[in-house]
Amino acid sequence: MKLLISPLQRMIMGLLPPWGPVGINPIKSAALNAHQFLLRQNFSGKPGLVTAIDLVNYWQEVFEANRIPEAQESSEYIVSYVLGAKTFHSLSASSISTPLTAEQQEQVQQLSAKRLQRMPVQYVLGEWDFQDLTLKMRPPVFIPRPETEDLISLVLEEASRKNKSCLDNAVHQCPPTTPLHVILEIGCGSGAIALSLLRKLPQSQVIAVDKEVAAVNLTRENAQRFQLQHRLRLFHHDVSSSSREELLPWGPVDIIVSNPPYVFHEDMAHLAAEILRYENLDALDGGNDGMRVIKRILELAPCILKNYGSVFLEVDPRHPEMVENWLQSRPDLFLSLCATHKDFCGKPRFLHIQKTYSR
Amino acid sequence: MRLLLRALRAALGLRPAGAGLGGKQPWRPLSATPDLTELFAAPGLPRLLEARAGNGELAARIQRLRAKEQELQETQELARSDENEDLRKLAAKEVISCQEEVAELKRQIILLLIPSEETDNNDLVMELAAGVGGQEAMLFTADIFDMYQQYAAYKRWRFEILEYSPSEIGGLRHAVASIAGPEAYKNLKFEGGVHRVQRVPKTEKQGRIHTSTMSVAILPQPTEINLSIDPKDLRIETKRASGAGGQHVNKTESAVRIVHIPTGVVAECQEQRSQVKNKEKAMKVLHARLYDIQVEEVTRKRCSNRKIQVGTRGRSEKIRTYSFPQDRVTDHRISRSVHHIEKFMLGEELLDEMIKSLREYADYESLMEMISANEQTKLT
């Protein structure tokens, strides 16, 4: 699939002059002439009198003319970011109508030029929000999707259930120095899941692994951003090639959580250019049945999970049934699917699997 | 010019300057309530106190008041007729401190009598909307929004913007904010209503004075005990609803809209880049709107004749005028005016004093209502 975007093609894309008020994109020049005109009128005619609204409207039209998806949103996010806000709606009334400085206009233009090359907005801004955290984003590390925010809530519910039973049974047996929950995250990417959990569970410890150095580094930077590195153990590690013995020193853990690559290989060709050109496709491609990494995680889970420990996975809506069948064919794993949760669109998206018994 | 102003004022239903609210007359004292002696002289009050004597704290205060009043009488007698001059002087001093204590006890008794609303300690959701007057009304709405945001900072409350839709020239069409902190609702509940501005708008080229309005609604934020919602009654709408979702899609649109199906009440949020955060905030607004409906049903029956209304009843009422030409803010419910409009709109002491007066007046009204209700039960 990666053949679609050949390295050569990427190089050519990179060599194109960034599109701006004076540059002309040779491919789209016909479509852009009108905007060029508008730009000259607006910007060179009365410099310094361009407001946030003018800029948003202008770049939205440019994006639309170039068939960039989410033209309005992209334009709004970029202008808001330059003005120091998260969204256009959170800008105050006065800052929307205040003219932008030449530097700010320049910055908007530079960021918009990246968006014109189909770079995802999250990479264009170099940051995005996940739950309470504003995380650094850098290509090609996978950009967390909004669905995954609900995965956090599910893990938190499980943790508070455990918490309660721990408090009920053994108030005096849990010394305050040992963490209440040890959580393993497989494929941490930017660190979104690991860091959200650390933030919400102040007595927890997270072990996070990723097979890409870029991801491990980004998770580390994001952890430092929120001063969470002390409770995070981070490893550059590929679970696909590791043996059970290699993982033993990490265990036993209470919870394993993962948003593994789960896209069916045949679907990869249909993904948007934003994903195909910029994101690490290994973080998405789950093999022919989308279950290559899911199966690997479940094979490793029993030996690092405590008895009655849980695995939380985000999956494709076709997977819950497939995983359940597969688990039934593998009684040696002592795992059972105890719940399937829907995402906010009503699609079965999250699996809660529990370890039932161990020798 | 004067005539014109007068005509304008008459057209707007304002009393002419000088009559009642006139500039030359001294303004009413800070508190619009009658003084304590007057209140305690009212025949209804002792009967009300008698009826409430079951309240231990109140009963103890009343007893102390009676004892103090007895002591005051004796000391006064002493100060008037004792033979020894030194003793008379000493007694006269004593009288003053006795009077102070009596006043303080009376104040405490009144405070104990005034019922506190169930929601007084709740957080709240404040909704602002531009009214009549086009762009100028929106500019004024933005000013009022800033005023309350600064007031929240002045009171050290947490102020969180939930919805904000600005107009193109720096005004504000509509906004929703959540305000949390000690006694936030108790203080702000009387700010609900129509606020009116008279000034020369920024957009006006000929220097004419315009009158525009905006409205404020204050909704108490329910706690979990106050309100329960069945998740099945909610429909959560996002732009992501169609398509594969998950890893297949990388979209940035994060707006969330929640519909409460049985009532049709809607809340939405697009302030955040995180969809979950938008959902949490929209849920907050939805809860406040549903709770408002619930509270409204309960309070509709009582509190009918008060000048100061809270809830939807007070929302359509013109409560305050910000007159820039006269540099004066007038609250029509308590006929109180303050000068230095710009200072008032900083959302600091001047607004705080106005709110205090409103609270005192509302307390006075509810006390009067209680006295008369008590009298009626006596009669029947």
Percentage of chain B modeled with pLDDT above 70: 83
The pLDDT of residue A168: 59
Burial (CB count <10 Å: 0-12, 13-18, 19+), residue B353: middle
| Contact (CB, 8 A) for A75 and A59 | yes
What whole-number percentage of chain B has pLDDT above 90? 41
Q: How far apart are CA B216 and CA B241, in angstroms?
A: 34
Question: Nearest CB to A345: which of B164, B245, B272?
Answer: B245
| Cβ distance of A343 and B272 shorter than 8 Å | no
Q: What is the pLDDT of residues A40-71, one digit of tens each?
A: 444 444 455 799 999 999 999 999 999 999 99
Is A146 at the interface with chain B, CB within 8 A? Answer: yes
B277:A132 CB<8 A: yes
Distance (Å, whole) CA B358 – CA B33: 10
Chain pair A-B, CB pairs under 8 angstroms = 119
Taking residues A321-325, report their average pLDDT. 97
Q: Quote the pTM value.
A: 0.75
> How confident is the model at residue B312, as a pLDDT?
60
> Rounded distance, CA B135 to CA B132, Å?
9
Q: Would you call B277 and A150 a contact, using CB atoms and an 8 Å cutoff?
A: no
Mean pLDDT of A316-327: 97
What is the per-residue pLDDT for A93? 80
Rounded Cα gap, residues B31 and B357, in angstroms: 5
CB contact under 8 Å between A146 and B275, yes or no, is yes
Phi and psi for B265 in degrees, rounded to 5? -70, 135
For A88-120, give the DSSP string.
GGGS-HHHHHSBPPHHHHHHHHHHHHHHHTT--
**B124-223+317-367: what fold?**
Alpha-Beta Plaits (3.30.70)
The CATH number corresponding to A133-169+178-355 among 3.40.50.1980, 3.30.450.40, 3.40.50.150, 3.40.1390.10 equals 3.40.50.150
Query: Is A70 an 8 Å CB contact of chain B?
Result: yes
List pLDDT tens digits, range A1-14: 434 444 444 443 44
For residue A271, which residues of chain B lie inside 8 Å, CB to CB?
248
Distance between CA atoms of residues A167 and A160, nearest Å: 10
Confidence of residue B301 (pLDDT cuts 50, 70, 90): low
How many Cβ atoms sit within 10 Å of the Cβ of residue A359? 4
- Alpha carbon distance, N-terminus to C-terminus of chain B: 58
Residue B252 touches partner A, C-beta closer than 8 Å: yes
A73: nearest CB among B252, B271, B272? B252
Helix (H) or strand (E) holding A244: helix A244-247
Question: Do residues A285 and A265 touch, judged by C-beta distance below 8 A?
Answer: yes
| CA-based nearest residue in chain A for residue B165 | A89
* Alpha-carbon distance B246 to nearest alpha carbon in chain A (angstroms): 6
List of chain A residues whose C-beta atoms are within 8 Å of the C-beta of residue B270: 87, 89
pLDDT at A310: 96
Q: Greater confidence, A342 or B362?
A: A342
Average pLDDT, rounded, for chain A: 86
- B330 pLDDT band, cuts 50/70/90, is very high
What are the boundaries of each domain within chain B?
A: 36-113, 124-223+317-367, 231-299
Q: Name every residue whose Cβ is closer than 8 Å to that of residue A322 and which is 6 or more positions away in sequence.
A: A289, A291
Residues 6+ apart with CB under 8 A from B136: B171, B197, B201, B202, B203, B204, B210, B212
Q: What is the pLDDT of residues B221-231, one digit of tens each?
A: 888 777 888 88
Q: How high is the pLDDT of residue B146?
A: 95
Give the residue with greater pLDDT, A122 vs A26: A122
- At residue A200, does pLDDT exceed 90? yes
- Domain segments of chain A as ranges: 48-117, 133-169+178-355
B234 interfacial to chain A (CB closer than 8 Å): no
CATH of B231-299, picked from 3.30.160.20, 2.40.110.10, 1.20.120.140, 3.90.1300.10, is 3.30.160.20
Range among A18-32, A302-316, B89-103 with highest mean pLDDT value: A302-316
